[in-house]
């Protein structure tokens, strides 16, 4: 009777690590020949390139804690926040996000008032929002667009909420659930009515930090340092099977997993796969659970890294990069200036632009050839940056159905999933489809799943 994990990305590796910490030897099943999932790092001409996620939020401690446990604490680096300027495209111009915005919530009057990014009618509406009263009764889940529009107007949706969340979730603000995506803002609305007043009150009451933590953290050599360290830790003890899990059935003693033509008996089972894949596997176990999991939408995307030698290209605007709102969008969704955000990752001799394409409603870009993608992006960058140097290197990665979309009703769906899991002892789900999409969320849910099962 094994303790089986299906999925060898950062979630599954974290679960395997936690099993070993509890004295349980796991069996890890991964369809791809290499472990790590969407965490993919390579180094080209001294530049560290991430094919998937490039960093994680410092405010979520799970990844940071695991990195330190693995002895990689000296490899942690933070984002270069004193240079943190993000631009948005409006009317063909890259305009900086004004200081004093917490996502879409204004916390400083003058920078927002002086910014050309928003019209005066929207700025006045933002000011009047301060006097909004709390709702008389709890409000139902709404889309992010409905929520933000009710507070600050449609222009704020189009030129702040949409580009900011497209860059994070690869999703549509007209579908994403505010309850799941902006949970803290929903709580503020319920208490204060006004998001602006609530955020300002929270800032007043927050203890003064001893030091300011960077917004983002990552590893000097790339996030694959984390997955490689996890693999090194588990490989001497864990059983690692390369193959695609074909089916799962429940037995009186636990579960049976079919892989590579062999049936494996499991006492513990962690599914660290996309929700749609978990649903397909669990249909013989519990049809309703399978339907709920298959109902979690996913978006697809492309990451494109362009490396340039400095002497062959023009200047890059000071800051972290830019976002392109849907109203202005052609192909590019976002672009990060990697060397500005994480100086350790790009030598002084180079510039690296990390471009994001696709996302909800824009998945057709994945069907273009590499040459077509490169041509379209270079054309847009020429208009935005004013130069069109030949890149020294190019790396393109396509991620199909990789990013879970928390649509309206997501939190209710996940509560129902958790209720059903109570009826299926020995089974746990983990990953970015449930309660958080970032690397720390994957680490946290993977470890929590293994911990719960090893204690049962």
Q: Which pLDDT band, with edges at 50, 70 and 90, does 147 fall under?
A: very high
Domain 95-205 falls under CATH 1.10.3110.10: yes
Cα 312 off chain centre by: 33
pLDDT of residue 257: 97
Q: Which CATH class is domain 2-41+63-72+230-297+406-454?
A: alpha beta
Q: What is the pTM of this model?
A: 0.93
Domain boundaries of the chain, sorted by first residue:
2-41+63-72+230-297+406-454, 95-205
**β-pair type (101-102, 105-106):** antiparallel
List Cβ neighbours of 369 (8 Å cut-off, separation of 6 or more). none
- 379-418 pLDDT tens trace: 999 999 999 999 999 999 999 999 999 999 999 999 999 9
**The tokens of 427 are what?**
């089974």
- 62-89 pLDDT tens trace: 999 999 999 999 999 999 888 789 999 9
Distance CA 18, CA 383 (A): 49
Q: Which pLDDT band, with edges at 50, 70 and 90, does 203 fall under?
A: confident
**Residue 28: which of 232, 224, 225, 234 has the closest Cα?**
234
Q: From residue 66, how far is each of 179, 239, 446 by CA, in Å? A: 28, 21, 12
- 40-54 pLDDT tens trace: 999 999 999 999 999
pLDDT of residue 272: 98
List Cβ neighbours of 69 (8 Å cut-off, separation of 6 or more). none
Element (H, E) at 166: helix 162-169
- 317-361 pLDDT tens trace: 999 999 999 999 999 999 999 999 998 899 999 999 999 999 888
Burial class (CB in 10 A: 0-12, 13-18, 19+), 315: exposed
pLDDT of residue 174: 95
Distance CA 72, CA 431 (A): 23
**Residue-averaged pLDDT of the chain:** 94
């Amino acid at each position: 009777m094994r303790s089986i994990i299906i999925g060898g990305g950062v979630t599954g590796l974290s679960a395997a690590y936690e099993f070993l910490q509890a004295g349980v030897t796991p069996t890890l099943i991964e369809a791809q020949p290499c472990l790590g999932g969407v965490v993919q790092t390579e180094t080209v001409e001294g530049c560290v390139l991430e094919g998937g996620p490039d960093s994680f939020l410092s405010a979520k401690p799970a990844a940071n804690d695991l990195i330190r446990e693995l002895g990689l604490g000296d490899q942690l680096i933070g984002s270069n926040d004193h240079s943190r300027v993000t631009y948005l495209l409006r009317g063909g111009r890259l305009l900086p996000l004004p200081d004093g915005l917490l996502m879409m919530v204004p916390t400083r009057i003058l920078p927002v008032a002086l910014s050309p990014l928003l019209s005066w009618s929207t700025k006045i509406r933002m000011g009047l929002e301060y006097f909004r009263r709390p709702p008389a009764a709890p409000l139902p889940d709404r889309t992010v667009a409905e929520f933000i529009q009710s507070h600050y107007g449609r222009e704020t949706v189009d030129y702040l909420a949409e580009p900011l969340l497209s860059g994070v979730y690869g999703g549509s603000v007209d579908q994403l659930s505010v309850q799941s995506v902006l949970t803290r803002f929903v709580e503020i609305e319920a208490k204060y009515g006004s998001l602006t007043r609530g955020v300002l009150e929270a800032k007043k009451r927050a203890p003064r930090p001893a030091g300011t933590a960077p917004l983002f953290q990552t590893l000097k050599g790339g996030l694959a340092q984390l997955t490689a360290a996890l693999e090194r830790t588990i490989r001497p003890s864990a059983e690692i099977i390369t193959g695609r899990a074909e089916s799962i059935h429940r037995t009186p003693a636990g579960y049976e997993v079919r892989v590579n033509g062999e049936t494996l008996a499991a006492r513990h089972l962690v599914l660290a796969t996309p929700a749609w894949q978990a649903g397909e596997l669990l249909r013989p176990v519990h049809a309703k659970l399978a339907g709920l999991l298959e109902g979690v939408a996913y978006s697809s995307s492309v990451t494109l890294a362009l490396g340039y030698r400095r002497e062959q290209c023009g200047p890059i605007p000071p800051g972290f990069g830019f976002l392109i709102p849907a109203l202005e969008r052609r192909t590019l969704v976002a672009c990060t200036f990697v060397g500005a955000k994480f100086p350790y990752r790009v030598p002084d001799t180079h510039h690296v632009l990390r471009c994001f394409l696709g996302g909800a409603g824009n998945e057709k870009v994945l069907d273009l050839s590499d040459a077509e993608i490169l041509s379209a992006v270079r054309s847009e960058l020429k208009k935005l940056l004013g130069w069109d140097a030949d890149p020294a290197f190019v790396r393109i990665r396509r991620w199909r159905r990789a990013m879970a979309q928390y649509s309206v009703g997501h939190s209710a769906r996940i509560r129902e999933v958790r209720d059903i899991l109570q009826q299926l002892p020995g089974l746990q789900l983990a990953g970015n489809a449930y309660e958080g999409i970032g690397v720390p969320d994957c680490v946290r849910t993977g470890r929590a799943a293994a911990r719960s099962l090893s204690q049962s």
